[in-house]
Amino acid sequence: MKHGVLALLFAGIILMSSAGANAIQLDADCYGWSFSVSFTVPADIEYTIDLYQGGSIVWTFTETYSATPYEVLNFSGTWGMELCGDYTAHIDFNYDMGQGWRVIYYDTDFTCECEEYGCTYTPGYWKNHPDAWPVDLLVVGGVDYSQFHLLQIFALDTGGDMTIKLFHHLVAAKLNVLSGSDPSIQPTIDAADAFLMDYPLFSNPKGALKDMAEALKDELCAYNELPCPEDDGDMEMLEASPRAILNAPAATEETSWGALKKKM
């Protein structure tokens, strides 16, 4: 969850309308928005909340309501998404008490801190750094594996069997998430787990099934090879950094499944 910090909160700021709207108090932060209003006479209301970032609308909401005399109305909602960066919340509040429509505008600015996630690493990194593993046991494709067995599978020559390649990157992605990296990859992890449950390790799927496994592998691979947050996307620095050397895939060892089964 990202942590919200309000740069400007208009708690206590009241907008008065000479036409009979008693008061409007508007608040907005990194989680949502709220305001209240009351009228001394019946009124038709239509309001729009817009959320801006970088001058563009990233979220909008419109609602209509018919207010009775002296009814205190409380409106609120959430943005429905995690925010990161600088934002402006804007309200257009329109009301009609039988004398024509009037409008009140108001803006508020706030800043949301961005969550800092840990780095992601490739299968080669996790193979060569067993002491960095956050767990000793892992469920992959519905099967329980010890770290010893997973390291043995990491050493396998992937050959043309896409389930082995998918397995390697699925394990790396799971270890990355468990170590504190961005968990947004979880839907792909779940899909890869489901695939390996239907088409287990060493089943060597062909045709459309192989294409499906490769697509999942490619998504996990792209995630496992993301630059660290501190690298700011500078690939030249990344390639020259100690992390890049540690994260480089290890040379593939020729290990047969028969030899592995003897060890398991």
- pLDDT digits over 100-111, tens only? 999 988 899 999
- Do residues 53 and 85 make contact, with C-beta atoms less than 8 angstroms apart? yes
* Third-level CATH fold of 4-112: Immunoglobulin-like (2.60.40)
Spatial contact of 70 and 18, defined as CB atoms under 8 Å apart: no
What pLDDT is attached to residue 4? Answer: 36
- Region 163-191 average pLDDT: 95
Q: For residues 177 and 192, what is the distance between their CA atoms, to the nearest angstrom?
A: 15
Mapped onto helix, strand or coil, the DSSP state of residue 79 is coil
Give residue 54's region: left, alpha or beta (phi > 0; psi -120 to 50). left
- Using DSSP's 3-state secondary structure scheme, residue 145 falls into strand
Q: Which residues of 110-127 are buried (b: 16+ CB within 10 A; e: fewer)?
A: bbbeeeebebbbbbbbbb
Q: Which helix (H) or strand (E) holds 104?
A: strand 101-112
Closest C-alpha to 29, from 75, 74, 83: 83
- Local confidence band at 115 (pLDDT 50, 70, 90 cut-offs): confident
In sequence order, the β-bridge partners of residue 108 are 89
Q: How far apart are CA 198 and CA 205, in angstroms?
A: 11
Instruction: Examine the pLDDT at 59 and tell me if it is beyond 50.
Output: yes
| Residue 26 pLDDT class (50, 70, 90 cuts) | confident
Q: How far is CA 111 from CA 7, 28, 30, 56, in A?
A: 6, 11, 7, 16
- The whole-number pLDDT of residue 19 equals 40
pLDDT digits (tens, 9 = 90+) for 209-236: 999 999 999 999 999 999 886 654 443 3
Domain boundaries, the chain: 4-112, 123-259
Mean pLDDT of 38-45: 90
What is the DSSP-derived secondary structure letter of residue 2? P
What pLDDT shows up at residue 101?
A: 93
Contacts 24+ apart (CB under 8 A), 141-149: 141/167, 141/170, 141/193, 141/195, 141/196, 141/197, 141/200, 141/201, 142/193, 142/196, 142/197, 143/200, 143/201, 149/264
Residues 6+ apart with CB under 8 A from 236: none
How far is residue 74's CA from residue 27's CA, in Å, rounded to a whole number? Answer: 12
Rounded CA-CA distance 182/179 in Å is: 9
Q: Which residues pair with 25 in a beta bridge?
A: 14, 36
How far apart are the C-alpha atoms of 203 and 160, rounded to whole Å? 11
pLDDT for the residue 60: 96
Tell me what the pLDDT averaged over the chain comes to: 81
| Cα-Cα end-to-end distance for the chain | 40
